[in-house]
Every structure is written in C-alpha cells, then in structure tokens.
Structure 1
C-alpha cells in the first residue's frame, strides 16, 4: 500500500473518531425529543442504602465460563480473582473437541482444583452413517483426557452444527435421532450437558418501536428464515430431548432463553428432574 493511501486512511479514521467523540459529548445537551435512546445515560437521584458484596460468604462455583484466559499468566490472574471474590471453582466450557479442547486442557488441567474443563462435540460428517460412532469415540477420548462435562452446545435455530448466518438448510437439533446414542453415552460417562437453545423472544420480534427489548435484541436478532426454528420451536427440541434421555443431566443455560415467560421453563423443570437452568 502506498504512503499516500496510508495517510488518507489515517486521516479518515481520525475524523471518524473525532466525530463520534464530539457527538457523544454533545448528546448530553440535546433536547429530549432529539436524544437517542442509545445515548440516554441517566444519573440516579435516589438516596437509598446500598450493600456492596465484595466476597461470597460461602464457596461459590461458577458454572458458566469459557476459555477467557489464553496464557499461563492469565490463568494465574484468574485464580487470584477467584480468591478475591470467594469463587471456589469455574467450569470452563470449551465448546469444542479435538485440538481446541486439548489446548484448553493443557492450559487449565494443572489447576483441576479451581477449573473444570468441559468439551464440545465433533459434528463433522453429521450426514454420514458412522457419525454417532465417530462422535462418541472423540467424546470418550476427551473424557479420558479430563473432560468433566459437555458444553456449551448451541442451537440458535439452524442447528447445533450450523450458525444462523450460514446459508442453506438446517442442521442437527438436539432431539435429532442421530444425537440419541451420543447423549446416552454422556449419561454412561456421567457427563452433564450444557446447551444454549434459541435466544430470548425479543430477538424474534419486529425491530421497531413496539419491541421493548430492542436495544439488546437488535444485536442478537434471529433471521426470519424458514430454515431457522422460531423461539418456541427450538425450545421444544430441548424439551423433547430431555424427555427422551432421562438419565442425562441437562443444563439449559440462560434459563433456556425463556426470560419472557418463565412459566415455560418452570413446566420443563417440573417435568424433568434432571434438567437444570
């Protein structure tokens, strides 16, 4: 790239940064009918007692974390953070098998008293006849290497092995018959399964003035695609899978994304003793 182009790009970036900063500074002086909701920063006038809890009174287990620390020194800092706030152990959900799991196990494995590492599943060859057997073989290998659970599996509508942004047909859902032997093997090995299904209902609604969760929903909105299950449909896949596999301990993370209607989650918890959220 020529020097003139680099200079031009640098000037453009500087101009954008200055424009954004100037708008942020001026937003506080805008009249109410011109103030954007994303810039609303109210300062509370309430004078009420506040209790700031700096450390847990009893040992806490953080059941939902990921591979945030990437180096031994970062892991050491994480342990110091755990000690500071009274967290006894964190569960690290790698959400992958193979090399990615092995690398996480190498990093966190030496601190098994503070971190519990969970593997993901290998979905490659999902349409092949030997898919369940191959996936189970890798699951067993991860278990021997130290995996103590499976997660975070994720199906936001297009399938466990597909992203919503991917084109084409839907993939594998948790209640798919191909998943049955895999889930049963999880039960045999005593591996709980953490799964993320869908998103909260606001992400499926029109992104307009009637959506009371739009500020967050817009970022995570679900595409209106016939190959992507809607909210109730994807939650139903979990309900059916849990019913089919009563020996498996399931954790529906984020309250199964039923925050808009907790009675839906409550009914599932009552019906399935080994389902947690």
Structure 2
C-alpha cells in the first residue's frame, strides 16, 4: 500500500518533469536553429526617419464607434478625464442594449455628463417571428428616442448567426425587417450596422491568408463557407437594405469591410448617398496604402467618420498619427490586425475636421455642436 501511494505521488511529478524537460530541450533546439513563431518575431527597426508621436488630436473628435459595456454603473468621470486628454468631445456608446439596461445607461449619462455621451439602441432581431412583431419593437424604438437614444446599432449576428423560429438564418435584407429600417428614417436616427467580417475570414487558413495570425489567435472568427454564406452574399444583402431605404442614413461599420478595396467602397458611395462609414478597427487598411487612401479620404471626405471600436486610450495615438502626419514605417498597435507597417496620410485640416466631427454632427442628432464649433 505504501509503495502504491508513493507511486501515485511520484508518477505525475515524473511526467511533469519529463514534459518540462522536453519543452526546454525543444526550446534550446529552436534557439540553436533560429526557429521562432511569427508571434514572437518583433524586430526593432533601424530606419531613421522623422517621427511625430501624438497623444491628442489636432481637432476635437466624435468617436462614433465605441463600446462601454457597463455604462449603467460606470464611473464616467474616469473616462471623461481620458477623453479630455485625447481631445475627444463626444463618445458614442453603441452598446446601449434595451429595456432597463438602456434606461439605466441613459440615466447615468443624463445625471453626470449629458453632452459628452451618445447612446444607441440594440434590437433582438430573432424575435421577428414572435407575436407582436414588429409593432412592439417599433414602439420600443419610439420610446427609446424620447428617452434620449440617438441611433440603432446592428451587430454582425444579423446575417451570420441570427436565426428565425424555424432555425433559418435571418438575411440582412429579410423583408420582415423593413419596418425597422423605415422607422429609423422616420425617427431621424442613423443605423450603424456591422455586417459580415473581413473577406479573408472565409479563405483557407493557410500561409497565403494575410489574416492567418488573427484566425490562429481567434479561431472562432473563421467563417466556414460550408456553413456561412459567402462574403459577397452578406455584403449584397446589406447593400440591398441601403438601396431599399434611401430615407434612412446608414453608417457602414469598419469601412464596410472594403478597406482593402477602396475602389469598391467608392462605387458604393457614388451609388448610395445615404451611406457613410467609419474607421473602427480598420485603420491599418488605410495606412498600408497611403497614396490611394489619402486620395480616397479627400474625395469622399463627407462620408467618413472617426471610430475606434474597442476602447483603449493609448491606441487612439496611432489614429492621430496616421490621419494627421506623414510619418513612415511605424507599428500598428495590434499585430494580428496588421503585420505590416503604417504610413501617415497627412490629411488637410479641412478633411480632418469633417472626419473628426463635422460628418457625425450631420448624421447623428442631438450632439452639442458648441463642443466643436467655438
């Protein structure tokens, strides 16, 4: 019995020691052979060029794409201090949700900083087969706007994973949703809509996929073409909604996932004057093509807004540097989004003002203009 106890104590210790030793030996072999994972490779550039490191924007800005998940109980003073340091005039919280959560978020804003935050509503589209659809949802939208909501945020689940009561995928241009889009136009509020994903998420996860690292680190982002409709179909469904509802203003999130094909995005703008976009999480697409992107931003200066997506104060610095300077060959803040280097666009002041705040003032109602136009 004593031997048995000793065996069962020493056996796992021995296994762990063996595995640790094996891991150490493999590491030494890789070091000797100069083998490393792409995630480890972080070369320090020896390039000597002018640098303009910015920690606040040249002009005050409206972040039209942000998520504050605990706004009902959030200490807004802390984030206001960070906003002030960045020169952010207004933050749009797209994650207002609905019901009591929305009510509490709006109350927190009204009680503390009513002119610094804008809150958007979120709808559960999977209720479209329930009794009372769409009238109950339309009434909820009307009440939300009366309470202070300034827009509707549509998450990517619509078109990808949302299903009706029969288990069928809900297409973005499903006619059962038409009353929602029309109501937004009637209420004078924009729809910020995230549809689909980067095209590469549908591609094979191999050495030719420039999003390979992101799919390795975030495997749930892969879109199996056997299960999910193709990228082109998702985009067409979204664009059909834009076409069908010309009286509603749509903010097509993330450059509409055409940051790598600005010519296509330009064609969309040329066709549909009710469509705008923003820069959330896709800045790296512009800054790897500085000549093309600068020309695009100047040509379509009335259609693009400042947006960040995930909130982290220091990451805004890269946005300022790309938009305002002509710096060359500098790092993005998230390697899985961009394993390439950034180049500044040096946008003219007149364009910067439109991207930073003027376009948002035209599209999103109820923002205090005095914060921007002294």
Q: Normalized against structure 2, the TM-score is what? A: 0.61
Whole-Å Cα distance in 1 between the matches of residues 155 and 101 of structure 2?
15
Note the C-alpha offset of 1:95.
5.5
Q: Give the ranges of 4+ consecutive aligned residues of structure 1 lying more than 4 Å apart after TM superposition.
A: 68-73
Higher relative contact order (CA 8 A, sep 6+): 2
For structure 1, the 5+ residue unaligned runs are: 1-7, 163-167
The answer (yes or no) to whether the contact 1:156–1:199 under 8 Å persists in 2 is no
Whole-Å Cα distance in 1 between the matches of residues 255 and 117 of structure 2?
23
Pick from 110, 116, 119: which aligns with 2:118? Answer: 116
Aligned partner of 2:85 in structure 1 is: 84
Aligned partner of 1:215 in structure 2 is: 213
Pick from 197, 200, 203: which aligns with 1:199? Answer: 197
Pick from 126, 129, 132: which aligns with 1:127? Answer: 129
- Go from structure 1 to structure 2 and tell me whether the alpha carbon gap of 1:56 and 1:230 turns closer, same or farther (over 3 Å shift): same
Deviations 1:175-202, CA, capped at 9 Å, x for gaps: 1111111111111111100011110011
TM alignment of 1:96-111, pairs within 5 A: 96-110=97-111, 111=113
Whole-Å Cα distance in 2 between the matches of residues 116 and 129 of structure 1?
31
* 2:244 corresponds to 1:244: yes
TM alignment of 1:1-277, pairs within 5 A: 30=31, 34-68=35-69, 70=71, 74-94=75-95, 96-110=97-111, 111-128=113-130, 130-155=132-157, 157-159=159-161, 161-162=162-163, 169-218=167-216, 219=218, 220-226=221-227, 228-277=228-277
Q: Normalized against structure 1, the TM-score is what? A: 0.81
Whole-Å Cα distance in 2 between the matches of residues 41 and 223 of structure 1?
31
Whole-Å Cα distance in 2 between the matches of residues 45 and 32 of structure 1?
24
- Go from structure 1 to structure 2 and tell me whether the alpha carbon gap of 1:31 and 1:43 turns closer, same or farther (over 3 Å shift): farther
- The number of residues matched between the two structures is 254
For structure 2, the 5+ residue unaligned runs are: 1-8, 278-374
Stretch moving more, 99-108 or 138-147: 99-108
What's the C-alpha RMSD, in Å, of the aligned pairs?
3.0
- Go from structure 1 to structure 2 and tell me whether the alpha carbon gap of 1:129 and 1:88 turns closer, same or farther (over 3 Å shift): same
- Go from structure 1 to structure 2 and tell me whether the alpha carbon gap of 1:185 and 1:211 turns closer, same or farther (over 3 Å shift): same
- Go from structure 1 to structure 2 and tell me whether the alpha carbon gap of 1:271 and 1:129 turns closer, same or farther (over 3 Å shift): farther
The structure having more radius of gyration, on CA atoms, is 2
Note the C-alpha offset of 1:70.
4.3
Note the C-alpha offset of 1:72.
5.6
Deviations 1:132-176, CA, capped at 9 Å, x for gaps: 1121111112111110001143246425x35xxxxx944323311
